[in-house]
Amino acid sequence: MSRQFTGEKRFGKASPRFAGKLNSGLLLMLMGGAGAAQAVTVLPAQFSFGSYTSVQMNVDAAGQNIVGDAAHEPTIAFDPNNPEKLVAGWKQFGTVSSGNRQGGWAYSDDGGKNWHFEGVVTPGEQRTNIMVDVDSSGNFYYQNLHYGPGGDYAQDVQVFKSVDGGVSWLDPAYAHGEGADKGRIGIDRSGTASDGHIYVHWREGLDDRHFTRSIDGGASYGQPVSIPGRPAFGTIAVGPEGQVYIGGRTESGELVGAKLVFSAYLFSTSLNARDPSATPSFTTQEINLGGSPVMFQFQNNPNQYGPIGDVQVGVDQSNGPLRGNIYVLASVDPVGADNQDVNFIRSTDGGQTWSSPLRLNTDPADRNAYQWFAMQGVAPNSRIDAVWYDTRGSLQPAVSQLYYAYSWDGGLTWSRNQPVTVPFNTHIAYPLGAQKLGDYSHLVSDANGAHVAYTATYNGEQDVYYLNVFPDCNDNAVSDVVDIQQRLSGDINANHLPDSCETITVPGDIDGDKDVDQLDVNLVLAVRNKPAAGPNDPRDLDHNGAINALDARKQTLLCTRPRCAA
């Protein structure tokens, strides 16, 4: 019989917002480092910057920070049937000085506005390298590396399953044995015969077999198989026909100055992992991301003695013209003096050929800023979202902000780089003086925007946060997708951008605000039964030389707002 782990139930509620201003405690933390941060005790669990609000997930029953604990390496998933239901997991520490890493988690049923921190999945057992995902039915899975009883060795890779939206978890299923590291999970939601397949990939281990799958809803996992090249520090994506793609980097590297530089980026493909009767096999190729994969080794960098983030792989699952496109995004060490960039490549032929690398961060290269922990998501309406940690605002390696950019055309062009959080100090080396902010953060995209799980130090300790970012070209704090769907703004050329953000002519727009509403109708009615001012008079919509009720009627059909409301 399965048992359920519920931990101590905690319910969050909304807190006052930090409206993008640095109070004295946070300013001391940024300027004075970890020592000064000790003075910061309790701050609200929500921090806003512009239109975007970060909500802390490891919170107490009142939705406030738990003073003295620590959490990092968060991961997130949402129910594809109801994006308001979110589940997050992370590495949780009881205190900032504790070496007892456990598997924390929380869930939200209101789109991330409030989080229920449920404690740890198996109190007293050490877990790390957590990654959550979800199947097409809304069942959540919690992949993790499980340590032995003494916490001194990696015993096995396990996967929990939740059938109640992350409120509780069934007994863990064994996926692989001793020695694994950096496990990642990918679930087939393609709607094809392989829908529901669960794929797990890891690095290191006692042999070269680094991939397994479940074809029975996570009840059991098959014998592991090897992947040529042994890609590491990457992610898994599933294509629209059940293809399995894994990105990563080589394991071999050499110390060059302050960085451990690895030899190549890798991309692996399996076309038969979707076939339950076949033993999964992979092909692997080197890919050019316009720089080198590295790991920081010394202190003068944002993530002391830590990675710069996973190689991100995403696939367009839509039914539109970009269906099947593959996208790879990573923080790279570029050629030249610049410290770190976020680079992007795309494939339109199943990974056979790739575009030239595109640098997404638009800061001048000679500023030597760090762009790191890059995250990527591909929405069901083909939008690509990218978020990363960025030091350009301070040029201090210890201080980062999250930046956001998005693309509607398969990554050919991107929106402006936009900061979406207040700055925070990444050199607060909790827990255990680990001298890093963890190894990764995570992003998944729905139609309206992206759900981001990340680590920050607003409270003077490492905590995990939820952030919803979305395209908002008109800066009205509403996703452009929602604006257009609810007819709050028009999109006459169907390019996903509100007309008010573009230099275009909108038929029926008399007052020039690129919206057609009652105000425009009134301007037509005001000159009803009068001759047009000329052949290009915008009020003469039927071009018959006269402005009359027919023009007003035609104009109401062009209204970009419901019922032509102003």
38 exposed, middle or buried (CB, 10 Å; 0-12, 13-18, 19+)?
middle
pLDDT of res. 142: 98
The token pair at 48 is 């806003």
Q: Which pLDDT score, from 0 to 100, does residue 44 have?
A: 54
Say if residues 103 and 73 touch (Cβ distance below 8 Å). no
Q: What is the pLDDT of residue 96?
A: 85
- Cα distances (Å, whole numbers) of residue 314 to 238, 534, 547: 8, 53, 53
Place of tokens 């990939």: 201
Structure confidence at residue 22 (pLDDT): 40
Q: Residue 166: its pLDDT value, please? A: 97
CB 230 within 8 A of CB 246: no
pLDDT by 10-residue block (mean), the chain, 566 residues: 35 31 40 40 74 96 91 97 97 87 96 94 94 98 93 89 97 88 95 98 83 97 95 97 97 88 97 98 98 88 91 97 98 91 98 98 93 98 98 93 98 98 91 82 98 96 97 94 89 89 83 85 88 88 88 84 79
Cis peptide before 431 (omega within 30 of 0): yes
In the prediction, which pLDDT does 403 show?
98
Q: Hey, how many other C-beta atoms are within 10 angstroms of the C-beta on 206?
A: 10
pLDDT at 184: 95
Question: For residues 61 and 106, what is the distance between their CA atoms, to the nearest angstrom?
Answer: 12
Q: What pLDDT score does 95 carry?
A: 87
Q: Are 180 and 202 in contact (CB under 8 A)?
A: yes
β-strand pairing of 52-56 with 463-469:
antiparallel
- Phi and psi torsions of 149, nearest 5°: -55, -35
